[in-house]
Structure 1
Amino acid sequence: MDYHVEVKRYALLIGVSYETSETGPSTSNEISPQRSLKRSTTEILKGSHNDVRAVRKLLTEVFGYREEDIILMTDEPSTDLTLVPTRTNIIDQLQNFIHPDEPNARYFFLYAGHSRQLPCEDDTEEDGLNECIVPSDAFDIFILTDRELEDMGNAAAADKLIVDDILHKYLVHPIKQSKTSRLTAVFDTCHSGTLLDLDHYRCNRYARRFTAIKRRVHRRFNELLAHLRRFQPPVLREVAHDAHHIASVYPKRVKHKFCKGNDCLRPRGQSSVICISACKDREITLEETMGQGNGLLTLAFTEALRKDHNPKLKHLMRCISSEVDKHVKKAKKSSSWQDLESVYAQNPQFSSDIPADMSLPLDM
């Protein structure tokens, strides 16, 4: 007998351009403009509003999301004040977004906007930095230099931004309480590789086939080392210990145990939380300017899912990475490239709560 399981779908889409938003404190009911800062053309994101609308259209036309179950937050003048993406408003929406007691729900979260990194003071980040998204009323924090940020104080800056720990608290923790619900999160922003603080991201890299082969070789190597450690001769134990230390990508101990990738031996399965990020934590992102003006990740993501509605995760990431790489190479040839860092790279990342079985289809 076949049983039809009803699946409810919800989405929270946030797009911040910073063109008209004001800085200063705000509540969920009002915006209190203290001061308006002049934006440069590189600081205004032309594509973020296009991003949320393109994704909303994708969700309703392809994946069966209902318009009334999609929350759209933008800093356009016509937006309802409770849906302007200020810090208070975003946190209000995050708190009410996931329903842990509702079974078989699918949640989709998109953030398209600026991000910033802050020093991590509790040793939970491998690179010593917390990743933060920048609400519409935190533009003055975004444009500070590192020295100005240091003078301001880490805690004061964190109170205006939304740190990755908060995103993890409201997006990941509730989903983990449910055994049947799933969350797909997309971050089209700089420094976004670990914005959800998910343990597994290196071990999911299938964008380039060589990476997958290298990871399998590395895993077999570590299995051999584990076998050698069971032998009693001290020489073999020392060899295994030294080899494992050399093989470790991040030998530094941190409280948050991110997997090292190549030597991740845990079984793979269907993740309850997956996150597709525009780049690694140390990288920045670009917008596409020749067409409608979208973030490169959002553009690649929507195009890939328009072509294949039910892709395997590894195929989806290969398509996204290939499309983003194509645009990056095109940007490097443009006359405006001289204003960007010569070492610029944008490598989309796939992270998950457990080592993901990348041969499974996208479940959203």
Structure 2
Amino acid sequence: MQTYGHFQGPDHREIAPSFQYSQCNGKKKALCIGINYLGQSGDLGELKGCINDAKNIRKFLCRHFGYKKKDIVMLTDDSTNEMMQPTRDNILRAMQWLVQGARANDSLFFHYSGHGGQTKDLDGDEGDGYDEVIYPVDYEAKSHIVDDIMHDIMVKPLPPGCRLTAIFDSCHSGSALDLPYIYSTEGKVKEPNLAAEAGQGLLSAVGSYARGDMSGLFKSAMSIVKTATGSTQKADKIAKATRTSPADVISWSGCKDSQTSADTQEAGNATGAMSFAFTSAISANSQQSYQELLNNIRDILKSKYSQKPQLSSSHPMDTNLMFIC
């Protein structure tokens, strides 16, 4: 058990909430999605490296972190099996499979490489007014998948101490899993003054979230929002009050919400820039803290790309901890 951050209680004494970090020594499951939109001439256009990304991530997980092929579901649009096609229904079903039966110290891994985008935010938890989305292969017929839905399926059901590591190699993916704590390259939560300001409301929100008490969760959210000024601050506070989770969820995204992610060539092979940088950084050094890994991923990309990969989490974390999955 490790603690991070100090919050002021109702009696004005500082208290530190405890979050259980996964040891990643339980069962391991992964879901890898790669969509090239083969043969499609829609608004988004065909991609080149996404299927390669999914296959490379599967090899990477088996080689470096002890995952087994039989425990990794692959959804790619070159599959001849209809159930393995990355349609909207298949993706949502696979996300549910990934978290089903999850327990403390399990390690789950989610990877998505494909088109990403934005749509108007309807619940006030996005500072820029837009939710992030991913596009299944049948998006023209079935529409996109919104970050709120992905959070509800893959984050909300997880118990304390269960690790979910997510990688989004897609455009506008900075907060694609709706995790409320986003870290700078110095390893600090962006907008750090919020923790002291929100205080007890944040702790109440965590308790309500863990119990499934939506009424209590809403009250906690509103108590935090009352102190906010401006839409960005309000959105930040709503996100932290309603999206903070006792589960150990960490997301790596290829860029900020406002940026695009490159579909490119590296070493003569089509690949997503983020997937390439992530696997390259860990292959070069498997013993890195989260902060070191974020900086190394950015260093790999900055000479050729303008995108800035993001690190976010479901609860405050110590980025000096070693990366494991």
Check whether TM > 0.5: yes
| Structure 1 position 110 matched with structure 2 position 111 | yes
Q: CA deviation at 1:249?
A: 10
CA distance in 1, matches of 2:237, 2:291: 29
Query: Which residue number in structure 1 is paired with residue 184 of structure 2?
Result: 205
Which structure 2 residue ranges, 5 or more long, are not aligned?
Answer: 1-22, 200-226
CA distance in 2, matches of 1:195, 1:325: 22
2:311 counterpart of 1:350: yes
User: Taking structure 1 as reference, are residues 180 and 251 closer, same or farther at Cα in structure 2, changes over 3 Å only?
Assistant: closer
Q: Give the aligned partner of residue 41 of structure 2.
A: 38
Does residue 91 (structure 1) correspond to residue 92 (structure 2)? The answer is yes
Displaced runs of 4 or more, over 4 A:
252-255
1:50 to 24, 49, 52: 52
Q: Does residue 167 in structure 1 map to residue 161 in structure 2?
A: no
The residue identity in structure 2 corresponding to 1:179 is P
Say which SS state the counterpart of residue 109 (structure 2) adopts: strand
Q: Secondary structure at the match of 1:256?
A: helix
Deviation at 1:130, TM superposition (A): 1.0
Q: Does 1:250 align with 2:251?
A: no
Secondary structure of the structure 2 residue equivalent to 1:185: strand
Are 2:71 and 1:73 equivalent residues in the alignment?
no
Deviations 1:179-220 (A, max 9, x none): 23200000000000111111111xx212xx5x86x97xx869
Distance between the aligned counterparts of 2:121 and 2:239, measured in 1?
A: 15
Q: Deviations over 1:233-292 (max 9, x none)?
A: xxxxxxxxxxx999x993445672349xxxxxx9xxx97000000111111111222521
Amino acid in structure 2 at the alignment position of 1:355: P
Compute the displacement of 1:327 (Å): 2.2
1:278 pairs with 2:254: yes
d(CA) in 1 for partners of 2:231, 2:289: 28
Counterpart Cα distance in 2 of 1:106 and 1:136? 27
Q: Check 1:298–1:102 CA distance in 2 against 1; reply closer, same or farther (3 A cut).
A: same
CA contact (8 A) 2:25 2:105 kept: yes
- Structure 1's unaligned 5+ residue stretches are 21-36, 142-158, 227-243, 260-265, 329-344
Shift of 1:354: 1.3
1:319 match: 296
Do 1:19 and 1:39's aligned partners in 2 also have CA atoms closer than 8 Å?
no
Q: Which amino acid aligns with 1:112?
A: S
**TM-score, normalised with respect to structure 2:** 0.75
1:17 aligns with 2:19: no
- Aligned mates of 2:24, 2:47 — CA distance in 1: 41
- Residue 110 of structure 1 and its aligned partner are, at CA, apart by 0.2
Change (3 A) 1:48 1:253: closer
For residue 59 of structure 1, what is the aligned residue in structure 2? 61
Q: CA deviation at 1:353?
A: 0.9
In 1, are the aligned partners of 2:127 and 2:233 still within 8 Å (CA)? Answer: no
Q: Is the 8 A contact 2:128 2:232 kept in 1?
A: no
Matching residue within 152, 171, 174 for 1:190 = 171
**SS of 1:327's equivalent?**
coil
1:245–1:74 CA distance, 2 compared to 1 (3 A): closer
Equivalent pair of 2:180/2:236 in contact (CA under 8 Å): no
Post-superposition shift, 1:97? 1.3
**Equivalent pair of 1:271/1:355 in contact (CA under 8 Å):** no
Q: Match of 1:233? A: none
| Paired residues of 1:271 and 1:356 also in contact (CA < 8 A) | no
Q: Which amino acid aligns with 1:93?
A: A
C-alpha distance in 1, partners of 2:322/2:289?
A: 4
Q: CA RMSD in A?
A: 3.2
Deviations along 1:3-45, one digit per CA (max 9) or x if unpaired, are: x99521110000000014xxxxxxxxxxxxxxxx5369x8211
CA distance in 2, matches of 1:289, 1:66: 28
Q: Distance in 2 between matches of 1:245 and 1:105?
A: 37
- For residues 72-128 of structure 1, what are the alpha-carbon distances to aligned partners after superposition, in whole Å with 9 as ceiling and x for unaligned? 11000x431101000011111111211345342100000000012111122221111
Preserved CA contact (<8 Å) 1:271 1:352: no
Q: CA deviation at 1:71?
A: 0.6
CA gap of 1:359–1:136, structure 2 versus 1, over 3 A, is: same
For 1:8 and 1:346, the matched residues in 2 are separated by: 34
* Aligned mates of 2:24, 2:60 — CA distance in 1: 23
- Corresponding residue for 2:10? none
Identity of aligned residues (%): 33
Structure 1 residue 46, shift from structure 2 partner: 0.5
Report the 3-state secondary structure (helix = DSSP H, G, I; strand = E; otherwise coil) of the residue aligned with 1:97. Answer: helix
**8 Å CA contact retained: 1:168, 1:197:** yes
Q: CA–CA distance in 2 between the matches of 1:361 and 1:200?
A: 18
Shift of the alpha carbon at 1:348? 0.4
